[in-house]
Structure 1
Amino acid sequence: MIASLASARQFMSAAPPMPPAGDSSREPELNAQLFRYAEDLQQMLERQIELEADYKDLLKASIPLAESRNQLNGLIDRSPDMHIVTDSEGRVLRCNPATAMLGRTEEIIGSLLRHWLSPTHLEQYEALQRRALLAAPGEAEDGTLHELKLCPGAPPGTSLIVAVQALPVLHEGKISSVHWIMHDVTRQREAQFASQISSAVFRSAAEGVVITDINGSILSVNPSFCRITGYSASEAIGRKPGELLASGVHDEAFYAAFWQSLRETGNWQGEIYNRRKSGEVYPEWLTVSAVRNEDGAIESFIAVFADLSHIFDETQQRVAYLAHHDMLTTLPNRLLFHERLQEVLAQEDSADNGFTVILLDLDRFKQVNVAFGPHVGDGVLQEVARRLLATVHKVDTLARFGGNEFAIIASGMTGEADIGCFCAKLLGALRQPMAIDGRELFICSSLGCATYPAHGHDEGALLKSAAAAMYHAKTAGGNTYSLHDVRGAVDDGTLPMETELRRALERGQLRLEYQPQVATRNGALVGVEALLRWQHPHFGEVSPEQFIPVAEAAGLIGSIGEWVLHSACRQLAAWDDQGVSIASMGVNLSPRQLRDPAIVDKVRAALTASGIAAARLELEVTESEMLFQLDADRYKLAALRDLGVKIAIDDFGSGYSSLGRLLQLKIDRLKLDRCFVLELEPQGDTRAGAITAAILSLGEALGVELVVEGVETEAQFELLSRQGFQVIQGYLTGRPMSPAAVAQRFTEFAGRSEAGCVHG
């Protein structure tokens, strides 16, 4: 109404002025004009009323519109999706609270949206922005979702995958900004990726995979299952694994324990034997796991298995090779030589054709090791092996017996002239100078020969005859050969080694030396091994490799072994009296001693006579010798352990014993054979390293201590120490030495330890 009065006043101020009084000539014109103004005024008042009514209607309509806008903003603020509005340059104008997953609001507002995107998705983002800004006003959005990868501000390295819609925003009829709606699909994509990976692994895994329901019926199998078992998927699905694969190897107790483990723990793992479709029984490593639902109830089982048959074959071949070959020279070892000799003896025509056994020992080889080091000695042995191998016939067997001794089975050779010619070739091949480690060395050898059947009808007799003949060659000055005499002496009538050995024991020519066993952690002397030595008054130092086999064959080893046992125990007591506390004394026990019915009483007598504690005596038994009478030997070993003495398996790894047989023995220590240590150098053979590591794990699993023999270099020591071996024995840490030298070494170490405590 106020607006109407104002309009009227404006109208009156615009009306024409009234004529002067008495001027009647213009009155009709003015009346007409006044009438028109009145009509216009009426129309204006009516229009004003209409506008006021429209304003009231608009005011009423604006209230729900504002409420709708507020509701929309509230929904956007509460939305789990990110809502971001950017201007035409891509700079963020507004964002909702959900963008907190990307960064702080103050960081996002005003920033370019492209800065929050992965570089790999910038091109796609720019295309979406361009499309939204160039869309025609009113153009409908096609609803297509696009995926972009965002890089949140924290933590570094994380990313978000979002499904995106880019909507154009109109202002005064023009598109001025873009409204981005981003839905987080990271978990879905990760789950999808994990599912794809799982599916790919299921299809391509080398192991067989079986999925069963709770009743054990097969739901699915992978291609490797079909390859390993021979059954197709259609043959397997719907049936139970036991119906298809049961081998009959395992009893009911095995399967009862299997299902009990699954019910109680939800998994089972172990070795099992199954049967292929072809009927072949094979070993496999099986892992079965229960799959539980959200309530914790088992709803299915997944079984994964690896075929072990090929691994077993390869491992058995490798172990068989290691057990039958010398690692330094790759020649057959003593064990394989014995097998070959037994095979030749078993042949029907061997008595007609005959053969000769030749034992070869390198003269003064010990001086090479002392003067130039074990690595030069090893080089000499390798070169000797190459030259001998090039000289013997293809049908002959050449083996390294151990140390510097080699053995040959010369097939079809029995005549003295042929033997002499052959031995001359062998001597000549070795007599040529050798270039080892930049040095020119001259090596000679002594050969002893025994023919079958003239010099023996069995393995023991032949080796005894060959050893006696070789001993004669050495006493003759070496660099020659000798043929055994059927009368029991060698060619010139010299008494055989057996007689000399009997006199050695009677005349006190035998002595013991002791090789230290050292802790890898600090170099402490933790034990010694007693080693037998023979100093002959005329022939000098006689190698144990020469006289021990003769003692075994002649039946002298029992009395010699008993002397060694008493001497070692007395020496341990003598050290105690000097204040030299050696924790352990290792004494080798021969197979003949072990099978002596009175061995337990003899050991008890040695302990009683010396007064040392039984736990300080360690009896060492060679692994290869244990293979032949294991059932009888294990009871003897158990009886010895009941005395309190420790039992060690010597040369472990050289006897080709199975783990099952090893578990039957009650032992305290394994002494790793030197052949594995030799393979650790010079190239750092990873296979040998893997074997030593596996043996360490085996020892830990069995609860026995391990000692590594034959450690001669720093590189071997460092590798074995890193692997976790705690005790080593070898030339690196100490050669065999006299009792006085052992006491001196113990005292020196104790002095250094005390000084370290004082000054540390």
Structure 2
Amino acid sequence: MPTGPIRVILARLLFKTRHIRPKRYTVKTRENNRDCETDVMVDEKDESPRGGGEVVHHPTVRWPMLAASGTAAGIVLLDESYRILWANERFGVLSGWPLDDVVGYAGKELVYRQALKPSWFTTELRAGAWQHVQLGDGEAESVRGVLMAETHLASRRDEAAILWTFVDLRDEAPHRFHASLDGMVSIWVFEDRLQHALARAARRDRQVGLLLFRLDDREALGERFAGTCLEGLQQQVGRRLVQTLDVEDSLTRLGQDHWGVLVEQPVSPEDLQMVALSCQEAMEAPFRTASTAPLLTLSVGIAVYPQDGDTSELLIKSAETALSRAPPASHAFFDPSLEAILAQRLALREFVQGALLQPALHFRIVYQPRLDLHDSRCRDVEAQLRLRHPEWGELLPSDFLPVVAEMGQAAWLDQWAIERVAAQRAAWQDMGSELATLGVSLDVDATTLDQAVAGRRPLDVMLRRLSMDLSWLCLELEERAFIAQAAEHTHLFRRLTALGVRLAVSHAGQEPVDIMRLAGLPASRVTFGSRVAAAIRRDDIAAARGLEALARCLETLQLEGVVTGVTSEAQWQVAGCLAAGLAQGDGLCEPLEAEALAAWLAARA
């Protein structure tokens, strides 16, 4: 593909011919989607050249342009008013217009900017740079995406003044040319990926994120730095974005000071916010110029499919609207309510991070009794974590444990909780309390089993250091995590069983129970999530029969069943079909601290 200087030389060599005298011919234009014809006076062929040079004015003159006619690029010569004087055969193929009809036509009516065109994206063609345009007559079926370069030629007023070069994006060579050195994709590829991403998301019921970045203080930067220097700074911004984003994300440059990012992986508003913050943090280091080290910032507008737009056009407009609301060096969502929610979640994350440094001051452990479904006696308690927040009150595990897991601290918090429960158990035993006869269950994260995550200290080693009988302890793991970890941690499970620790499957029933895999797990108990209890009604015979069939499967596998989330007498009665099982829920007893639990148990005696 010819570069800028080469295009100028090519034009000077290809367009030498004789001067021409005035002659009337018709110029074709389009107004209000209608073709119009205007008579224009041009020159006719003159055998006496002027000024020692040979130029071209009339499109019908025989051109000594074999190189231009045979090139793979579309070549067009225009006058100062952008009227087409000549075009090669390749341009005719790209535009779909016969060459005889193209000559004399207003060139700008054949060239359109790409469909991905927010309001801040200039519609004017820029000289001296490859641009993404659509070539055709404006009809959807005939428009073709191409790369275009415009070169202004040194000429007199009445000579050919402008050279257009077009390259088909579907050709192999242009693809190699357009592979950005900064690792970005072209606008055409970006738009194609966006449309395909939305189609996939619609089939899989997923979300897709679109982020638009804007360079802040663009006008001030333009006054401070020359065009070449400013372009170099924007290329540095692009490189930093490429280095920050994941390889699965698509990045493109939109206009002089805007970039677009497509995040197609399963995303949430929190994920998109983290992408925006990471990209903004990447701009914090000074940039490099020949004389100064300026600091640049980005504003970000975020839109989420499908709630902010179910088509690429609507999603782009939503992201553009969000960007218009974003303050400098900040970000904004199209849906303002998300900003408040995410601000609260970010505040929670910061609070949890501080709480993990001093867990004894912020976390506490409560115990919820589990009653025998046949004689209503308390045989077991579940230890649960609570987090005390100065403004929001006491937070439940579902509020903060996902944040702890995102921070990679779930295993550490689980080990801290086990040590606290063991200390409380030892205190009950020293007091001769009846609570020392109860089993204690604790729901732990799957990462607690991973030695590399849990401070390079295997779980069984940590438990041995407690120096106590552990037959009272039952560790519960979520069903899918337990199944996934079974093969990898077979030896660890055996060591835990040798210590007397029981293992249980927790939160079963959220999905169909896999009886075959359940039979292969080293578990002695299955805990059903609150969804199972919520589905139970007094008159729901089908639910009772289903639970009874499941109870027989558990009995065959010698597994004890626990129904959690029981809030009514009807749920208690239906859950009673379990041959050997327990029930737990706020309808039976709310979670209590150790002293209150002792008083509750004494009152039931």
| TM bucket, shorter chain | 0.3 to 0.5
The structure showing larger relative contact order (alpha-carbon pairs under 8 Å, at least 6 residues apart) is 2
By percentage of residues, which structure has more helix? 1
TM-score (norm 1): 0.36
Q: Which has the larger radius of gyration?
A: 1
